[in-house]
Amino acid sequence: MAEKQLKFQEAMKRLDAIVNQLNDQDLELETAMDLFEEGLMLSKQCSRQLEAFETKVNQLMEVQEETHEDPEK
C-alpha cells in the first residue's frame, strides 16, 4: 500500500480517530481489520519519525556542545 506519508501530528490525529472507530460496538469485522491494519502502519510511521526527530535533536545538541567547548568554531 503506497500511501502518502502523513506529518507526525496528522498521523497521530488519524490514529486517534481509528481508536475511536474501533471502540464502536457496531463496527463490522472487515472494517475493524482494515482500521487495525491502518493503525499499525501509522504507529510504525510515527515511531520511525520520532526516532528521526530524536536523532536530529541529539545531533543538534552535540553541535551546540562542541560550539560552547571551542568558541573559535
CA atoms within 13 A on the CB side of 20: 6
Domain-embedded: residue 61: yes
Q: Look-up: residue for cell 469485522?
A: 29
* Predicted local distance difference test score (pLDDT) of residue 66: 86
Give the count of domains, the chain. 1
pLDDT tens sequence across 6-60: 999 999 999 999 999 999 989 999 999 999 999 999 999 999 999 999 999 999 9
Higher model confidence: residue 65 or residue 1?
Answer: 65
Domain-embedded: residue 4: no
Domain-embedded: residue 63: yes
How far apart CA 71 and CA 35 sit, in angstroms, is 53
Domain-embedded: residue 2: no
Domain-embedded: residue 1: no
Cβ(17)–Cβ(42) below 8 Å: no
Range of the domain at 51: 9-69
pTM confidence score: 0.76
Domain-embedded: residue 34: yes
